[in-house]
Amino acid sequence: MSQKPTSDVKHPPIRSYGRRRTKGLRNTRADAMDTMLPKLQLALSEGEGATIDPHSFFDTKVKEVWFEIGFGNGEHILHQALNNPEVGLIGCEPFMNGVAALCVGIDKEKVKNIRLWPDDARLLMERIKPASFDRLFLLHPDPWPKSRHHKRRFIQTETLTEIARLLKPGAEFRMATDHPELAEWLLDKTYRHPDFTWTATAASDWRTPPADWPETRYGKKGVKEGRPPVYFIFKRK
């Protein structure tokens, strides 16, 4: 049998995240993940297949679907889910310790409107139908500070084009970082992209978090260490 031509082989995207887990999990987190993750983890059929309407991931009807890439320990997505019960939220996070932490919160708060993708967000994004999301969050992505690693940064022109495909017209795309050089990268790449409009009209717009933004441990740590976050809100044209 002849081998498939190399030009037709689909290669995985360049890895944009670091480690998948640290040594061990506390019993509370391990137990929560064992209990909750099988109920919440999204499963996709193998192969390319047809694109999927993310509303179908939820047991009850949701008015909107929001998408968070790299939710860390889950403080932000949990806050948004509790305060927006009519919205379905999909959280992507390859770091399993963070997934376990969020599973603890979901179990404790009895949250019903979160679904999890514990892997590279791009693998899920390519299976979602166009104009599916009403809001998308990218909070404190890995800065990959060395020049030779800039290709690993999540925000690239190609990724922004994919994000634009998934957002409805007028939908919000929110980003945050406490890394100054990455902030310049995020702003430059997104501002130059033809599918997005920056909503800021004054410096306070990127220095002050949105009103519905929870204060997280990571955010407080950055401020304490002299690294106040910046907040970018773009809209899909």
Q: Please give the helix or strand (H or E) that residue 230 lies within, else none.
A: strand 230-236
Among candidate residues 62, 58, 105, the one with its CA nearest the CA of residue 82: 105
Q: How far apart are CA 135 and CA 167, in angstroms?
A: 7
Among candidate residues 148, 146, 139, 45, the one with its CA nearest the CA of residue 91: 139
Q: Active-site residue among 31, 142, 195, 205?
A: 142
In the chain, the N- to C-terminal Cα span, in Å, equals: 48
Catalytic (active site) residue 142: yes
Cβ within 8 Å of residue 129, ≥6 positions away: 51, 52, 53, 54
Active centre residues (catalytic):
142
